[in-house]
Structure 1
Amino acid sequence: MLSHAATAIPIPATHGSDQLGAVATLTATAHTAGQVAAVLLIVTIVVWFYLLTCLIWPFGKCRRCKGVGKFKSPFGRAYRHCGKCQGSGLRVRLGRHVINHIRAVRGAGQNSTSKGGK
């Protein structure tokens, strides 16, 4: 019994099929643009939600001491403060740094305008 592998046979382009190919390409591009727009919308919503949570909860746990604020010595019962958070156990979240920067830039712009001068 002989089996033949299926091979793709290229179909030569004719005058009418060239226009159909252009329409199919245009439709695929429009579909892709819609997907890109949807992804950008979702990313924008996620970023705004994260910035909103950073407004409400500006601090997170210190990554070095895991929010405890101190380390136990290997021998004995002595503790020392975390050098990264100075013993508070907190750190400022990245989104809060962004919000603080935006506020500083906006405030600097408002302070630089002259009020009522010539």
Structure 2
Amino acid sequence: MLRKLPINFAKWTVKKVPVQQKRFNSQQKEISPHIMFYKNYARPLGKVTLFALATYYGLEIVWWKLDASEQEAIKNSKLLICESSFSLLTFRRITEFRECEIKTRDLYDPEI
């Protein structure tokens, strides 16, 4: 035979606590103007400051990227100018060398 265990479900129920109501009468403290200023304006000023900082840093990052790409383009153009001048100088040297070679060949071998 099974015996029933004594279980007290009253422990597990939620107790109702009476709600205390605030009384809006002359006993309530006066809030200082200093605190009221921050209560009224802290959130809007914070939002404006946050948006201003986000905009500033976002535009600064964009400027850094654009400046870096501009500097890279300037370096590439300078490098291209140097390469072209080098190739022109080497071409002139080669042609001068060939002309000199042809002249000396003509001097030593007039039959050609």
Question: Which bin holds the TM-score, normalised by the shorter protein?
Answer: 0.3 to 0.5
Which has the larger helix fraction?
2
Name the TM-score, length of structure 2 as normaliser.
0.39
In terms of Rg, which structure is larger? Answer: 2
